Amino acid sequence: QLTDTFTLYPQFMYHLRRSQFLQVFNNSPDETAFYRHYLLVEDLTNCLVMIQPILYAYSFSGPPE
């Protein structure tokens, strides 16, 4: 059982490991440097969205409202 401060940690690590920021296979060194540079330059809020995108709306029956 994780404490309240670490409840989102596994979720963010899951998305970070599968993001372009840690992938080196099938990417050129330039692409890897590009993605990592922009991760380091952005502020915390933008980095969190880059690691784990936000889903605003979803619907099974049609377009989201």
Indicate whether 42 belongs to any domain.
yes
Q: Dihedral (C-alpha) 44, 37, 54, 16: value to the nearest 10 degrees?
A: -90
In a domain, 62, yes or no: no
Summarised one tens digit per residue, pLDDT across range 11-54 is: 999 999 999 999 889 999 999 999 999 999 999 999 999 999 88
> Which has more confidence, 55 or 46?
46
In-domain check, residue 12: yes
The verdict on residue 15 lying in a domain is: yes
Which residues of 1-65 form beta strands (DSSP E)? Answer: none
Number of domains, the chain: 1
Query: Does the predicted TM-score (pTM) go above 0.75?
Result: no
Query: By residue range, what is the domain housing residue 43?
Result: 4-51
CATH number of the domain encompassing residue 32: 1.20.120.730
Confidence (pLDDT) at 32: 93
